[in-house]
Structure 1
Amino acid sequence: MTGYTGMDSVEIMPGVRVTKERCLYIDDGPTVVLGDLHLGYEKALEEDGMFIPRINTDSIREELNLIICKYEPKRIVLLGDIKHDFKRTRYEGKEEVHRVIELLKNASDVIVVKGNHDNFLQNILQDTGLMAVDYVDICGFRMEHGHVDSGKRPVIIGHEHPSVKVHGAVFGGVKVQCFLHLKKDGIIVIPPFSPLSSGSDLTLAGPETFMSPACKAADVSDADVYGVTEFGILPMGKLGDIENLEI
């Protein structure tokens, strides 16, 4: 893979592209799908005695601005885990959600899907005019967070925070966030949008190690893996073969 320059996006099925911005782009609309923002992550860590710079929300807003300008979506789907804290969110956390939602609403129609972290999310959204839903059926897909499987296919989910570890010939290797496309099972898994989410290493993983019920019941070794790197999207082959991949 030496000298690889990467691609901004890769079409994984007609009209559907995985992108280096960690969002799914669908021609219909056009529509952008992203998830797992985990707003308020730093505050939750502080309550556990860990202090890190508060960069998550500002970084997310910057990336969303880039996506809006580049793809000009008519519709944006937030695929769950908008907030990080399971508990009732304080004023500061509400403001973080409002800042992101208002940015998106000023540019596009917004659909908010609830994730397993999104307790009390509707309380936060009541001033925005949006209603959080369990799923949405658009563009020929069921779109849901992924912590619960509706059984509908094809489906686009988040929740999993997928990444793979690639071994290095000189160094120890690197963990790469990725999209997964389980063609036979009709499942697309998107990576987390939060820059603070490193992802769950799925290398050598069997179905039992996945969090989402849809993936647990699928042939995950046959999933096509598309890595998100600083150079662009990197097609990495099948998940079951990743252990043999080296950089």
Structure 2
Amino acid sequence: MDSVRNGTQPVRLEPVPGEPAATATIEGDRALLVADYHAGYEAGLRDERGVDVPSKAADRRERLLDLLERTDASRLVVLGDLMHSIGDPGGAERGELEVLFESLPTSLSVTVVKGNHDGGIETWLLDGEWAASTDLPSVEVVSGSGGALDGVGVCHGHTWPAPSALEGDVLCFGHEHPCIRLEDEVGGSRVERVWLRGRLDPAPFRSRPEYAELPWLEDGTPPRLVVVPAFNDLVGGTWVNLPEQSFLSPFLPAGLTEGEAYLLDGTRLGSYRSV
């Protein structure tokens, strides 16, 4: 997909065919990157909208565990919104997350980038009574503005990224849940999750003082952007090929140039605006 430079060695960021996930090498580890897991989403639908949807918690967990095994990953990077509720998780959501982390290999290293739905996730995932009494993988929680993981820039996407996240050759983030709406000639339609890829456009970043020292801002090659599709297949998202749809991220679409859409199976659709 995209090459990033890790020290002097180029690193490949590769999508997992057919899945909303990618792999990369981070600090010598094979890492699996996913975004927008939204544990407890079905409980949220019931509580917030009165919609009763059977829980797919077990399916989400098994899909993630299968991906970790298939890719031989020793590190998991969640690009935000591991949780669904805005505040502290409770009930079904807390139970889903506890079972998930108890099911992960204890040898796994986990990085959670805080999304706008992740609230006080560190208060129980790192410091709570359950975490203290359970044999869990090594877990770190980082700010939603993100940073660099051995040359791979990461953030969630709901805020402007940290300058350090823009110092490499690629920035990966979620939040947007990018989708396209496809129509056939008789009026039928379906919605598909997609990857968005393109080059960062410096224009909206130039007026923000926190980015003043970035070397590519005035002269150079800005990083590539990779918007990761939502892992949770129920959450919907931004239909990026419909002009009346508003993007969620504060730096999209203005911060994305040469943007192309790819289906999960790798099919290149071309410019997301013209699909």
TM class by shorter chain equals 0.7 to 0.9
Alpha-carbon shift at residue 131 of structure 1 (Å): 3.5
Give the TM-score normalised by the residue count of structure 1: 0.83
Give the TM-score normalised by the residue count of structure 2: 0.75
- Candidates 221, 234, 239, aligned match of 1:201: 239
Partner amino acid, structure 1, of 2:71: Y
1:149-206 Cα shifts (integer Å, max 9, x gaps): 1244231110000001122134523211011111354211001101212322111338
Partner amino acid, structure 2, of 1:210: F
| Mapped pair 1:224 → 2:260 | yes
Question: Does the 8 Å contact 2:262/2:269 carry over to 1?
Answer: yes
- Candidates 123, 141, 145, aligned match of 1:132: 141
Q: Name the SS of the counterpart of 1:182 in structure 2.
A: strand
Alpha-carbon shift at residue 236 of structure 1 (Å): 0.9
Distance of 1:184 and 1:89 partners within structure 2: 35
Q: Which residue is 1:235 aligned to? A: 268
Q: Name the SS of the counterpart of 1:233 in structure 2.
A: coil
Distance of 1:72 and 1:34 partners within structure 2: 15
Question: Does the 8 Å contact 1:18/1:179 carry over to 2?
Answer: no
Q: Which residue is 2:251 aligned to? A: 214
Where in structure 1 are there 5+ consecutive unaligned residues? Answer: 1-10, 243-247
Instruction: Give the ranges of 4+ consecutive aligned residues of structure 1 lying more than 6 Å apart after TM superposition.
Output: none
Alpha-carbon shift at residue 68 of structure 1 (Å): 1.5
Question: Does the 8 Å contact 1:15/1:27 carry over to 2?
Answer: yes
Distance of 1:123 and 1:182 partners within structure 2: 36
Once the two structures are superposed, the pairs formed by residues 50-89 of structure 1 within 5 Å of their partners are 50-55=51-56, 57-89=57-89
Distance of 1:141 and 1:97 partners within structure 2: 26
Partner amino acid, structure 2, of 1:182: G
Q: Name the SS of the counterpart of 1:215 in structure 2.
A: coil
Partner amino acid, structure 1, of 2:120: F
Question: Does the 8 Å contact 2:238/2:246 carry over to 1?
Answer: no
Q: Which residue is 1:7 aligned to? A: none
Q: Relative to structure 2, which stretch is displaced further, 101-110 or 69-78? A: 101-110
| Mapped pair 1:149 → 2:160 | yes
Distance of 1:36 and 1:204 partners within structure 2: 22
Q: Which residue is 1:192 aligned to? A: 230
Partner amino acid, structure 1, of 2:254: A
Distance of 1:119 and 1:95 partners within structure 2: 16
Q: Name the SS of the counterpart of 1:200 in structure 2.
A: coil
1:33-87 Cα shifts (integer Å, max 9, x gaps): 10101111111122132211011x2111111122112101121101111111113
Q: What count of residue pairs does the alignment treat as equivalent?
A: 226
Partner amino acid, structure 2, of 1:15: R
Distance of 1:168 and 1:107 partners within structure 2: 47
Q: Which residue is 1:122 aligned to? A: 122
Q: Name the SS of the counterpart of 1:15 in structure 2.
A: strand
Alpha-carbon shift at residue 139 of structure 1 (Å): 3.9
Identity %: 25
What is the CA RMSD across the aligned residues, in angstroms?
A: 2.1
Q: Which residue is 1:3 aligned to? A: none
Alpha-carbon shift at residue 27 of structure 1 (Å): 4.1
Q: Name the SS of the counterpart of 1:236 in structure 2.
A: strand
- Candidates 15, 20, 23, aligned match of 1:18: 15
Larger Cα-atom Rg? 2
Question: Does the 8 Å contact 2:79/2:155 carry over to 1?
Answer: yes
- Candidates 181, 184, 196, aligned match of 1:168: 184
